[in-house]
Structure 1
Amino acid sequence: MKRVTLYRAASLIVVAGLIFCAAMMWRPSIDPLAQAPTMDDASVRRGARVAEQGDCAVCHTRPGGAYMAGGLPLVTPFGTLYTTNITPDRDTGIGNWPPEAFARAMRHGVSRDGHFLYPAFPYVHYSRMSDADISDVYAYLMSVDPVPARAPDNHMMFPMNFRPLVSFWNLLFLRDDRLADLPDRSPQWNRGRYLVEGAGHCSSCHTPLNFIGGEKNSEHLSGGQVDGWNAPALTGMARRNNPWSTEQLVTYLRAGVAGHHGAAAGPMLPVSLSLAQLPETDVQAIAEYILSLDGDTPTPAPDCAATRTAAIPAPSAATTGTETPGAASTSAAPAFAQGEALFAGACAGCHGGGAPMRTIDGRPGLSVVSAATASDPRNLIKTILEGIPMSARAPSHYMPPFADSLDDAHIAALAGYLRSQACAATPWPDLLETVHTLRHEGQSK
């Protein structure tokens, strides 16, 4: 009798568990719109601003593709996703989505037909947005030109190719708690917090992820990696050896060249171009919030030239193989000389002392840029390899790529020379191997 009772109890537990799992992994579809809605012009204008805040076009417009028509591949540790068409095309876009379906996708990561969206779409952050902002961005997207374009099939590894499992990921990481202003903070600080933690979803790149792709909340905004680039920590930026000022950060975020730090490159470049379209007050609010964040920032070695304002000088006796201040030792002089010569030939025209571009375009001296003073050479090497492409959006800055004109040894020598000028006491190790690895990563995409 006891055995039968235990069997029944176990069966009930299993059945209850199956019912719970089924309930977790199922969402109802929402009826499609019968006809296209009419949108208020003011709501459309506000929505355009929200779309820029959220960098919607950065992910949903592939290079050479139609605006917001999707198809951009996103490479994740779990496979490759392709962004979806969010134009109002009724067959392949969101043209038949009613407002409640769009809001559900933004807040809960569920499509109109009930399937779960992968969290590469940052609904965990969009869920913190206001109802008004979500409504406005819906109005804007429904006003753009409809484009028939179906995204390629995703290529996800097992078991992540089984979408219903995302429901359990949501249990761990989806909060759906809308941000409320903190009464002890200024309106500008609260606005910046709302943009950073909500539509801007900055922590998607600037927070490290755990093994299942969730953000490590205990390391919020302490730095991450995206598309092979380091996304630096946003904490403690005002307290570093080379601290950021509000003016510098606003300039950088608005796609300008920030003195003593440089300009946006890699995946941050299109983000900065989007931010440049916003009212400057919004970007100032973002800067105020970010610069208020504390963090455990390691103190750079005292020889780092983080506060040095001068440009790297013209080639010196190092090019002849003799030791020069900034070279680590006599044995390192040949590599130093090669790097100095490469700088003179490839970089000094824009970044050397007295270069016209330093006055005309505000090009920084490379001994002070954040990529050269960082503890990791990745971003400096990636910038040398890939350059900074010219953009049709204003403002825009440009740097040519050197992947085809310089080999690995040349780039390693150049990076080592720049590091010696920025932080001679802590040279980067294994530069040649690092350059080779990063070049290979770029070719394998």
Structure 2
Amino acid sequence: MIGRIVAALTGIGVVAGAGFLAIAWHPAIAPVAPPTAGSFDTASIERGRVLAAGGYCAECHTRRDGQQGAPLAGDYAMATPFGTIHSSNITPDPETGIGRWSLAAFTRAMRHGVSRDGANLFPAFPFDHFTHMTDGDIADVYAFLMTRPPVHAQKRENTVPFPANIRLFQGGWKLLFLHPGVYRPDPAHDAQWNRGAYLAEGLSHCGACHTPRNMLGAEKSDAAYDGAPVDNWIAPPLNATNPTPVTWTENEFFSYLRYGVAPLHGSAAGPMSPVVHGGLSEMPESDVRAIAVYLADLDHAASRQGGDSARLTAAMASSTRDLTGPQTDPDARLYAGACAACHANTGAQPVPGRPDLALNNALWLSEPTNLYQVVLRGIGTAEGQAGITMPSFYHSLTDADLARLAAYLRRTRTTLPPWTDLEKKAAAVRSTLPAPPVAASH
């Protein structure tokens, strides 16, 4: 009897193992001679350039951690809970890049997360989003990439430990979390909404940063766009759980994504800055508008704007709090000296380029991470709104100063509970940043 049970279990294991191999194992696709630039249609190359910008290819495939790499040559370090993964070289170099990849091999990578040699790719490459792109868009991106200057560049080794580094096991991840297939338009919505959904869910993979992930590194489908930590920042919620007092409307989303600043919410900084200025800025305005329409629908903006006017009035009333008369609160004096010159608004709306902190995402999130990042880093000329900068306070404010400032703003500009361990968290954020040069004295 025991022998029969063992035999049955063994048989089940063999069948299950064979089934898993059938899903997880993929054959190599034969290499091709690197195609010449002249073999691609110029219109396809140009469409691919725009699509590659909208998919942020260069952002994740160009090294920047202390050493500037060649565009698209890979080796960008992505810190994950499973170790550091370095992006691939996607220039047409025949040895270290994708120069010998056919369109079929490239399409398989985009749709199914499988390399030309048959190895499963880690989902740090967002093939779970790119799978929704059309064949034509994938072919155009391929045409663009294969006509870039080839760069011979080896990437560093990943630090993913055993057994997570076994590529075959990624087949199980895909079985659970990959839903391949081209985006299908939702007949309940118009063409503009569907275009925005196609871009946000596919090419531009917004959820890759703005959706929290489970223990296996997959996006939580029941918490789509609820916000998540990314690159030592917090990508805020893009849905109705966003805590800011004034609704993210279509126009606010559009202004932010197109110009790097939402008048009633703030500026694009940190990881979002290249998304706006290096990616979406290359796309047609109609596409950016379509994404804004889709996101505004996700956060139910149309049904949530009723109280915006009153909340805006309350926020503007708090903008100059503690700035008139004797200042007995030392934290208020700190704010007045460091921040008020730019962030105190006296009108009914914030002055363009001077976000009102009572409206800003950074003060309403569950942690002060983004507030600390902006104060310590500043906002450079290539970030946020064109022509507007914010100085770094890295050297002029201590961690204790940052903690006092954060506590003051949280209690006077929001209706939320106070943050905790503020000085410790300030030190933690500071430790992730290189010290900027000290300005020369005169």
Question: What SS does the aligned partner of 2:389 have?
Answer: coil
Give per-residue Cα distances to partners, 1:296-346, cap 9 Å, x unaligned.
99xx9xx97785236436844464x2xxxxxxxxxxx3xxx2x33333333
Q: How many residues align?
A: 422
The residue that corresponds to 1:169 in the other structure is: 173
Counterpart Cα distance in 2 of 1:294 and 1:112: 39
Structure 2 unaligned residues grouped into runs of 5+: 436-442
Cα contact 1:255–1:269 (8 A) shared by 2:
no
Shift of 1:152: 0.4
Structure 1 unaligned residues grouped into runs of 5+: 322-332
TM-score (norm 2): 0.87
Q: Where in structure 2 are the equivalents of 1:368-379 lying within 5 Å?
A: 368-379=359-370
Question: What SS does the aligned partner of 2:85 have?
Answer: strand
The residue that corresponds to 1:291 in the other structure is: 296
The worse-fitting range, judged by mean Cα deviation, of 209-218 and 2-11 is: 2-11
The residue that corresponds to 2:18 in the other structure is: 19
- The answer to whether residue 282 in structure 2 is matched with residue 277 in structure 1 is yes
Q: Where in structure 2 are the equivalents of 1:44-443 lying within 5 Å?
A: 44-63=45-64, 64-236=68-240, 241-273=245-277, 274-294=279-299, 307-309=314-316, 311-312=319-320, 315-317=323-325, 319=327, 321=328, 333=329, 337=330, 339-353=331-345, 362-391=353-382, 395=386, 397-423=388-414, 426-442=417-433
TM-score (norm 1): 0.86
Shift of 1:88: 0.8
Counterpart Cα distance in 1 of 2:382 and 2:334: 27
The worse-fitting range, judged by mean Cα deviation, of 376-385 and 416-425 is: 416-425
Distance 1:171-1:306 versus aligned 2 partners, 3 A rule: farther
Cα contact 1:260–1:309 (8 A) shared by 2:
no
Give per-residue Cα distances to partners, 1:178-210, cap 9 Å, x unaligned.
211122211111111111111111111111111
Counterpart Cα distance in 1 of 2:426 and 2:384: 31
Question: What SS does the aligned partner of 1:285 have?
Answer: helix
Whichever residue aligns with residue 41 of structure 1, its letter is: T
The residue that corresponds to 1:33 in the other structure is: 32
Give per-residue Cα distances to partners, 1:147-205, cap 9 Å, x unaligned.
11111000012211111111100000011022111222111111111111111111111
Cα contact 2:236–2:242 (8 A) shared by 1:
no
The residue that corresponds to 1:330 in the other structure is: none
Counterpart Cα distance in 1 of 2:412 and 2:8: 72
The worse-fitting range, judged by mean Cα deviation, of 404-413 and 186-195 is: 404-413
Whichever residue aligns with residue 84 of structure 2, its letter is: T
Counterpart Cα distance in 1 of 2:62 and 2:271: 14
Give per-residue Cα distances to partners, 1:215-237, cap 9 Å, x unaligned.
11111111111112111111127
The worse-fitting range, judged by mean Cα deviation, of 110-119 and 259-268 is: 259-268
Distance 1:397-1:94 versus aligned 2 partners, 3 A rule: farther
Distance 1:393-1:89 versus aligned 2 partners, 3 A rule: farther
Question: What SS does the aligned partner of 1:16 have?
Answer: helix
Cα contact 1:254–1:283 (8 A) shared by 2:
yes
Whichever residue aligns with residue 28 of structure 1, its letter is: P
Counterpart Cα distance in 2 of 1:200 and 1:146: 25
Counterpart Cα distance in 2 of 1:255 and 1:71: 29
Cα contact 2:269–2:383 (8 A) shared by 1:
no
The residue that corresponds to 1:329 in the other structure is: none
Whichever residue aligns with residue 12 of structure 2, its letter is: I
Whichever residue aligns with residue 69 of structure 2, its letter is: G
Identity over aligned pairs, percent: 42
Shift of 1:416: 2.2
Shift of 1:396: 6.4
Counterpart Cα distance in 2 of 1:168 and 1:39: 37
Give per-residue Cα distances to partners, 1:47-99, cap 9 Å, x unaligned.
11111221111111122211111111000000001111111111111111000
Whichever residue aligns with residue 333 of structure 2, its letter is: A
Counterpart Cα distance in 2 of 1:10 and 1:374: 51
Distance 1:398-1:57 versus aligned 2 partners, 3 A rule: farther
Whichever residue aligns with residue 309 of structure 1, its letter is: M
Counterpart Cα distance in 1 of 2:3 and 2:417: 71
Distance 1:238-1:75 versus aligned 2 partners, 3 A rule: closer
Counterpart Cα distance in 2 of 1:307 and 1:253: 26
Question: What SS does the aligned partner of 1:81 have?
Answer: strand
